[in-house]
Structure 1
């Protein structure tokens, strides 16, 4: 189960990063970016669920759990906002979305980094 969780979390990193940086580099929000956000969210949710099951049987790190839950919520809000911006097509909404997208990605890296750090010690 641990191997599947690690693969899922790392796939989330790959897909989410491709989506965020692809959207940032192109300056537009395309359907493929939204798909990468959603795939990243699904992978992260899967990995987090698996990791939660593992943590329930052993020790737990509260800061990792809290930041991980916050990151999942932000990813969900981000994906929903991306869909709304794509549907609405407003350039002003797109501009603020670009900033939010990068911030959510940076915040997502915090629990990812904590998890990597925890696995080393």
Structure 2
């Protein structure tokens, strides 16, 4: 079985690329939404594999809360991108403006999964 870390790392690469490239050019293109979708699917598969491999299924810790929240935000962000690419209202402008915040929340979940970083974040919050 492929490690969940492979899928989560691919999600990081694809999601980060799509967000920052869209910011660089200032608008969404269909191929960027495809890259974004692949990033979301990698995150979904990686998260599902981690859930299946976990010994304790529902532990309320920073990483699991951030991870599930980030997955939900990433899904909403993907729907938003699909609306923006269809040029519905001012979704494009708002997508460009706020996507970095959605990415930042996702990044918190990504980074909190790195054990030493998780301990550092928890020590800051204490």
TM-score by length of 1: 0.87
Alpha-carbon separation, structure 2, partners of 1:36 and 1:108:
16
| Structure with the higher fraction of residues in helix conformation | 1
Structure 1 vs Structure 2 CA RMSD = 2.2
Q: CA deviation at 1:58?
A: 4.8
CA contact (8 A) 1:6 1:47 kept: yes
Q: Which residue of 2 aligns with 1:101?
A: 99
Structure 1 runs of 4+ with >3 Å offset: 58-61, 118-121
Alpha-carbon separation, structure 2, partners of 1:7 and 1:105:
19
Number of residues paired by the alignment? Answer: 118
Alpha-carbon separation, structure 2, partners of 1:120 and 1:20:
24
SS at match of 2:114: helix
TM-score by length of 2: 0.83
Structure 2 unaligned runs (5+)?
Answer: 120-126
Superposition pairs for residues 43-82 of structure 1, below 5 Å? Answer: 43-55=42-54, 57-58=55-56, 60=59, 62-82=61-81
CA shift in 2, pair 1:66/1:24, >3 Å: same
